[in-house]
Structure 1
Amino acid sequence: MRRPLLLVGQPLLAPIVPLLAQDYDVMTLWEQPDTAGLAQVDAVVWAGEFALERALIDAMPNLSLIACFTVGYDGVDLALAKARGIAVTHAGDANAHDVADHAIGLMIAHRRWIVGGDRHLRAGLWTIEAKTRTRSMGGAKLGIVGMGSIGIAAAERAQAMRMQVSWWGPRDKPALPWPRADSLEALARQSDIVLVAARADESNRKMISAAIMEALGLEGLLVNVARGQLVDEEALIAALKNGRLGGAAIDVFDPEPTDPARWADVPNVVLTPHTGGATHEAVGQMAQMLIANLSAHFAGQPLPSPVRL
């Protein structure tokens, strides 16, 4: 009996290939396998933010599982997977707490002028005559877009910092202790900080529009740790340049990696290169979850973290 054959999709997943090779035969997409080889693939190991093209799925008639190494799976066509009878798994909430930590860190870095202050000092601009005043986190009104695992973890941290938390999502969650705004625009209007923590799909692309930024206002801070496609990046840059939005702290971009020249003259922004969930601990948990999903699938057992199709 042959071992299951896996196709690993992206070079960034190369470090897990030796781990997978202990129990499976492994091919890598970046080494351009031939069509005959693809025809034997049983499962794909994929980084969920990348589009999994229909043509690639068509080339794998034996495909029975798309195993996303990542928490996100927005690059997977779930309707197609359901139609083909292909199971989809992801990493569950493996990095939710680390992403929430990063979100709070971005808020503090911007609101307390930590990044700007570092640059100010290094440029020799600190004088005894002047001291820059920043804004307290306590009492700040935080509006969270999307109240899944990351949103809840961020809300708990924010509450411990004496922030006032509210949220908005398309579906109410009455069990949550924080109030839900009537609309996304209403959330922006009532908030000092808006944190984007929603799952991305084609229905909410550019949901953080120029109008939402206008509602957040001249003193408002936009923080995004979800997906770049949720924010109208052109509108964001324009709002920052013309002062219609107070500031932004961004970990995710559309596309990635973002062109640094795009941000060279954009004021009042703190940028990180999609590192919110990229801790050693979270990646280790993702690897464990991937192995568990693969093992359960090929043993015919319930999947530990399936995506509901």
Structure 2
Amino acid sequence: MTDPLRPDVLRPDVLIGAALPPVTMAALERAFTVHRLWDNPGDDALAQVRGMAASTLAGPIGAALFERMPALEVIANFGVGYDNIDIAAAAARGIVVTNTAGVLDEEVADLAIGLLLATLRRIPAGDRFVRDGHWTDASFPLSPSLRGRRVGIVGLGGIGKAIARRLGAFAVDIAYHGRTQQQGVGYPWYPTALALAQACDVLIVVVPGGAQTRHMIDADVLAALGADGVLINVSRGTVANEDALIAALQKGTILAAGLDVFAHEPHVPEALRALDNVVLLPHVGSGSVVTRAAMGQAMVGNLSAWFATRQPPNVVPETRHLAG
């Protein structure tokens, strides 16, 4: 068995798709012979690449790049979602794809709850009210409340369950939508996002991105959520129809939204930025020093395990048959 972390063992060539946190870059450089996509490596260099450290910052990763890397065996993604990777093209080429599932669940769940409270209790607006000196002249308007609400979680995976555990402390009713009803889960299940929205007045969206979930939150779902409804999205911007969401916020179809993700990041429509019933964050769900370091460690661990044993711990379902 080889150990790519030992300096006396040949180090596999790995392509880094976009700059990662310094601690992760250093770990990759210690373990592998590193090539950087932004340095425009030539075809001779890419032909030697056996692994790739990927992230959403690298943009779409698919067949055109795979053609230039005939030796590519594994892609380790920095994050849980991997809709940045053409998974069908990877599987067709026999390329195993891994992610960092489980590492960031608690951090994203923390942020989702924080974003929910910030949106309902208008915390950013209250901060601006004090900073701008208005408190000496008037009282801050009363806000909506979390009390008495029914919260629907769209996607009850690891992050969704972590959110549900936190919501339990707030004594609110919880329901969920997923592709199938989960055994051993006590929350009510609804077969569609529309049905869940009809039964709830808060939706927290934590499904993966990609074609299957594109515009899952559409005008009909938002209308069903209602004029007192709140949408929290910490998944992918493509999951919500952004034009429909803007219209719903402008017209009062829903009360408010808290968004950590957008359709064309980092570009956020001016129409959203102009609204005072939306809280906007720059896609920071997992964005703590501790969690990003743990994600990097998991990504490097996936690459190392592949080259050592062909059995990395976090292979995504679509390529699981290729590992081992």
After the TM superposition, which residues 244-283 of structure 1 pair with which residues of structure 2 at under 5 Å, given as runs? 244-259=253-268, 261-283=270-292
The residue aligned with 1:35 is 43
Give the length in aligned residue pairs.
Answer: 309
Change (3 A) 1:129 1:30: closer
CA contact (8 A) 1:241 1:267 kept: no
Change (3 A) 1:15 1:5: same
Q: Note the aligned Cα RMSD (angstroms).
A: 1.8
Structure with greater contact order relative to length (CA < 8 Å, sep ≥ 6): 2
Counterpart CA distance in 2 for 1:121 and 1:296 is 52
The residue aligned with 1:235 is 244
Provide TM-score, normalisation by structure 1: 0.94
Superposed CA deviations along residues 121-150 of structure 1, whole A, max 9, x for unmatched, are: 333333676452223323321000000011
2:19 to 2, 8, 11: 11
1:154 to 163, 180, 195: 163
- Identity, in percent, stands at 38
The residue aligned with 1:21 is 29
Counterpart CA distance in 2 for 1:198 and 1:108 is 20
CA contact (8 A) 2:152 2:176 kept: yes
Secondary structure at 1:11 match in 2: coil
The residue aligned with 1:200 is 209
Secondary structure at 1:42 match in 2: strand
Structure 1 position 298 matched with structure 2 position 307: yes
1:44 to 52, 56, 62: 52
CA contact (8 A) 1:219 1:245 kept: yes
Counterpart CA distance in 2 for 1:5 and 1:131 is 58
Deviation of residue 299 (structure 1)? 1.0
Counterpart CA distance in 2 for 1:207 and 1:287 is 30
Structure 2: stretches of 5+ with no match in the other structure: 1-8, 319-324
The runs of at least 4 consecutive aligned structure 1 residues that moved more than 6 Å come to none
Counterpart CA distance in 2 for 1:19 and 1:123 is 45
Counterpart CA distance in 2 for 1:92 and 1:130 is 45
**Residue type of the partner of 1:117?**
G
Deviation of residue 16 (structure 1)? 2.5
Counterpart CA distance in 1 for 2:271 and 2:142 is 29
**Residue type of the partner of 1:84?**
R
Deviation of residue 163 (structure 1)? 1.2
Structure 1 position 123 matched with structure 2 position 132: yes
The residue aligned with 1:183 is 192
Counterpart CA distance in 2 for 1:129 and 1:84 is 64
Provide TM-score, normalisation by structure 2: 0.90
Change (3 A) 1:222 1:2: same
Counterpart CA distance in 2 for 1:175 and 1:293 is 30
Structure 1 position 224 matched with structure 2 position 233: yes
Q: Bigger CA drift: 49-58 or 9-18? A: 9-18
Structure 1: stretches of 5+ with no match in the other structure: none
The residue aligned with 2:322 is none
After the TM superposition, which residues 36-115 of structure 1 pair with which residues of structure 2 at under 5 Å, given as runs? 36-48=44-56, 50-115=59-124
Change (3 A) 1:41 1:243: same
CA contact (8 A) 2:47 2:70 kept: yes
Q: Bigger CA drift: 15-24 or 151-160? A: 15-24
**Residue type of the partner of 2:44?**
A
